[in-house]
């Protein structure tokens, strides 16, 4: 059956999903096929009965409910594609009961803590120091994703207009306003970058010590290293800084739709989770301050 291969091509060339997302879809669909073959002796298109058995089998083996939801989502999208092509009539995932999810609030760092750290910590004046500080500043001041930062180029910043041009998921472009302070840091970094790598023609903004484009694991390690100075929480990733950016904007009165546009979310539901953090903060203030709260 070529259906799965056609679906993957559809995700890559029509939906323009990232390689990382496509790989996740492929793995999920391959696991479903493998289960049907090993435990039922058949090769099956998405089938509600087999999907239920597959879910039960994986959860009993220790798969988290959140991962189970993602795999069901992959099968749902695949089934929608098959319906569109006339292969099946109904989506079998629609009748599968999903495991309950515990809502995890986005982890963020306090505005004062990260500000104090950025103002006081000595990153060093060499290329790595200036690069690393700029990486943290861009994450915290713009809320962009790790992949978006990695793919920034020399023309991403518009200095006269004080803007950052970002290419997000599915090649969707968005413009983010930036401060004069951040632009000054970018200008300083670019001068040192040019001085350090005189013969390198690459257009990528952030480079390794060898002049190569930075990569996901490296960016994660840089952020994780410096967030250890700021917080004791377990999660210390680039996404924590993205969450911090959104949470602080909301706490300062920014409209949810504006935050949605800045983050590059495709729908408002993805942005609304940050309202829970703000509500939890309000509850905490209330219980500390109101005489009748106890």
**Residues 6+ away with beta carbon under 8 Å from 39:** 53, 57
Active site residue 193: no
Active site residue 239: yes
Phi-psi region of 227 (alpha: psi -120 to 50; beta: other; left: phi over 0): alpha
What's the CA gap between 220 and 238, in Å, rounded? Answer: 6
Q: Which of 71, 131, 242, 248 is catalytic?
A: 242
Q: Which of 12, 145, 165, 174 is catalytic?
A: 145
Q: Which of 130, 146, 239, 243 is catalytic?
A: 239
What's the CA gap between 65 and 257, in Å, rounded? Answer: 30
Active site residue 162: no
Active site residue 209: no
Burial of 171-188, coded b for 16+ CB within 10 Å and e otherwise, reads: eeeeebebeeebbebbee
**Residues 6+ away with beta carbon under 8 Å from 132:** 123, 222, 226
| DSSP state letter for 237 | S
Sign of the C-alpha dihedral, residues 285, 290, 292, 294?
Answer: positive
Query: What crossing angle do the helices spanning 48-60 and 65-84 adopt, rounded to 10°?
Result: 160
Q: Which of 40, 80, 174, 265 is catalytic?
A: 265
Q: Which of 52, 169, 174, 235 is catalytic?
A: 169
| Residues in the chain, total | 294
Task: Write the CA distances from 241 to 144, 180, 223, 231, integer angstroms.
Answer: 9, 20, 9, 12
What's the CA gap between 222 and 135, in Å, rounded? Answer: 8
Active site residue 80: no
Active site residue 145: yes
Residues annotated as part of the active site? 145, 169, 239, 242, 265, 274
């Amino acid at each position: 059956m070529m259906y799965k291969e056609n679906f993957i091509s559809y995700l890559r060339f029509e939906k323009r999903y990232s390689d990382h997302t496509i790989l996740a879809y492929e793995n999920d669909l391959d696991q479903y096929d493998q289960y049907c073959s090993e435990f039922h002796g058949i090769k099956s298109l998405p089938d509600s009965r087999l999907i239920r058995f597959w879910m039960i089998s994986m959860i009993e083996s220790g798969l988290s409910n959140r991962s189970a939801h993602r795999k069901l989502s992959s099968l749902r999208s695949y089934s929608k594609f098959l319906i569109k092509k006339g292969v099946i009539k109904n989506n079998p995932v629609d009748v599968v009961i999903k495991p309950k999810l515990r809502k995890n609030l986005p982890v963020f760092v306090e505005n004062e803590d990260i500000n104090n750290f950025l103002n006081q910590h000595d990153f060093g004046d060499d290329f790595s120091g200036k690069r690393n500080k700029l990486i943290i500043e861009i994450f915290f001041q713009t809320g962009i994703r790790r992949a978006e930062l990695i793919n920034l180029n020399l023309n991403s910043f518009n200095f006269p207009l004080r803007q950052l041009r970002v290419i997000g998921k599915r090649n969707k472009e968005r413009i983010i306003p930036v401060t004069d302070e951040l632009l000054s840091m970018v200008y300083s970094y670019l001068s040192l970058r040019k001085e350090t790598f005189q013969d390198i023609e690459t257009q990528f903004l952030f480079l390794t010590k060898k002049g190569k484009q930075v990569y996901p694991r490296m960016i994660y390690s840089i952020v994780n290293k410096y967030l250890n100075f700021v917080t004791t929480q377990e999660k210390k990733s680039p996404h924590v800084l993205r969450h911090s950016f959104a949470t602080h904007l909301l706490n300062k009165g920014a409209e949810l739709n504006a935050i949605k546009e800045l983050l590059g979310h495709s729908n408002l539901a993805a942005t609304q989770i940050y309202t829970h953090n703000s509500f939890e903060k309000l509850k905490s203030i209330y219980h500390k301050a109101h005489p009748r709260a106890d």
